[in-house]
Amino acid sequence: MNRFYGFDLGDAESAVSRLEKKDQNVPEVLAVNGEKSFVTAYASLRNGELIIGEKACYNAGAMKRRLRFKSRFLTDPSSLADLKSFAAGVLGELYASGDLIKDDDCCFYIGCPAGWNMSARERYRELFEKTGYPPVRIISESRAALVSACQSKHLQIGVDILSKPVLVVDIGSSTTDFAYIMSGKEVEMQTAGEVMLGGGLMDEMLLEESVDASPDAAKLRKVFAESEPWRSYCEFAARRLKEKYFSDEDYWKENDCEQTVLIRYDEPLRLTLRMDEVMANRLINKRIDKLRGRSFHDVFEKSLMEVRDNITSKQPELLFLTGGVSKLEAVRDWCQAVFPDAVVITGSEPEFSVSRGLAWSGRIDDEGACRIAGF
Ligand SMILES: Nc1ncnc2c1ncn2[C@@H]1O[C@H](COP(=O)(O)OP(=O)(O)OP(=O)(O)O)[C@@H](O)[C@H]1O
Ligand SMILES: [Mg+2]
């Protein structure tokens, strides 16, 4: 095998990394469509062209626009077509840029949530195979994030990761995954392997609250009910604004963090999105119907307690936090409160660690196979 690709297809963001067989460096994150971390979205234009990434989110002329479809893979058969379209778009971009060469002796390691069982993983693998990918293996994103941390020379935590029980907590856009890893191997969890909790809920809430506060609330609701492309356009704008605020909370507490979106449907409408301390607090602590009357914080804390109570062997000595929402400062404190004796660390560059870890896993498995075969 000449090279190993790691494809982190997230519900919100995706990334592809490549590692050469003999390369001593970290896997290279490839720019797809000019972006190293690109939005998991595709759009079909009037002329039949398929575009992916951020361009697909903002193209106002899109006939069809789809975002956040991976989270529906286990429950909604229509997500299969969306995943195939997006996967085909990524493959096309990799060939077009020359980052992937036809008939190269390579393989793709693609991540999935830790909670997916073997049959879901196999169906997922077939999807890529049918789309024309080189040989594909599916492994858990949590394990890949930990492999990345183990390979990182910068991570100095004073705990030997591979000899201690570790709990990986991956808080993404639609799910939070918990993976209990002992001696470097993932142990299947009885419950709470995957919880439907992620940053996407905050985007929906910010959008909803902004619509409620608008003088055009009724008109906006009508547009969103009729036009999925416009609704997802605005939800995406809400997501970016939320990320901007949380990446520097102290600064934005003193400064205006807002954006006005222009919607051209029956008539032009303006929608103002605004993040401030009060809204940030609501996104975390407001009780919402989607969480059956509980808040983001409530559900996260309860899931973590459930995981703790369900661990029958040794409690984790290390909690490794990854995924976009792990950048929220409060998350670390919530984890420390439930696991007071554990070391809690947040992985660096969560947007790339899974794809790098996947590429690394490819090479580790290949080296293992070579050893067994006596090479
Ligand atoms: N600084 C930040 N503060 C809070 N949330 C953030 C920040 N940066 C990114 N996010 C959120 O993290 C989420 C994306 O995380 P990530 O890329 O790990 O998810 P994903 O892998 O695409 O989704 P999933 O794991 O559910 O499939 C989005 O909801 C995004 O808005
Ligand atoms: Mg993820």
pLDDT, tens digit (0-9, with 9 covering 90-100), for 326-362: 999 899 999 999 999 999 988 888 889 999 999 999 9
CB of 11 shorter than 6 A to ligand 1: yes
Which residue has the CA at smallest separation from atom 21 of ligand 1?
10
Amino acid at 208: E
Question: Measured between alpha carbons, how far is 299 from 62 in angstroms, rounded to an integer?
Answer: 36
Backbone angles phi, psi at 261, to 5 degrees: -105, 135
Is pLDDT at 7 greater than 60 in this prediction? yes
Which residue has the CA at smallest separation from atom 24 of ligand 1?
172
User: Encoding tokens for residue 145?
Assistant: 């994030």
Neighbours of 321 (CB within 10 A): 22
Taking each helix axis as running N to C, give the angle between helix 199-213 and helix 228-247, from 0 to 180 degrees, rounded to the nearest 10: 110
Is pLDDT at 363 greater than 60 in this prediction? yes
Q: What is the DSSP letter of 90?
A: H
C-alpha 45 to ligand 1 mean position (Å): 27
C-alpha 319 to ligand 1 mean position (Å): 18
Ligand 1, residues 39, 72, 173: which to mutate, most atoms within 8 A of Cβ?
173
C-alpha 375 to ligand 1 mean position (Å): 41
Neighbours of 160 (CB within 10 A): 10
> What spatial distance separates the first Cα and last Cα of the chain, rounded to whole Å?
13
Instruction: Please give the mean pLDDT across all residues of the chain.
Output: 90
With beta carbons less than 8 A apart as the criterion, state whether 263 and 271 touch: yes
Q: Which residues does residue 67 pair with via DSSP β-bridges, in sequence order?
A: 41
Is pLDDT at 318 greater than 80 in this prediction? yes
Each residue of 205-258: pLDDT tens digit?
999 999 999 999 999 999 999 998 899 899 999 999 999 999 999 999 899 999
SS3 196: coil
Each residue of 31-81: pLDDT tens digit?
998 999 999 999 998 888 899 999 998 877 788 889 989 989 999 999 999
SS3 211: helix
Ligand closest to 244 (CA) is: 1
Ligand 1, residues 7, 325, 332: which to mutate, most atoms within 8 A of Cβ?
325
Ligand closest to 194 (CA) is: 1
| Cβ < 5 A residues, ion ligand 2 | 10, 172
Query: pLDDT tier at 192 (50, 70, 90 boundaries)?
Result: low
Question: Measured between alpha carbons, how far is 272 from 217 in angstroms, rounded to an integer?
Answer: 11
User: Encoding tokens for residue 71?
Assistant: 């989270």
pLDDT at site 65: 87
Ligand 1, residues 243, 297, 300: which to mutate, most atoms within 8 A of Cβ?
243
Question: Measured between alpha carbons, how far is 81 from 41 in angstroms, rounded to an integer?
Answer: 13
Amino acid at 280: A
CB of 328 shorter than 6 A to ligand 1: yes
CB of 199 shorter than 6 A to ligand 1: yes
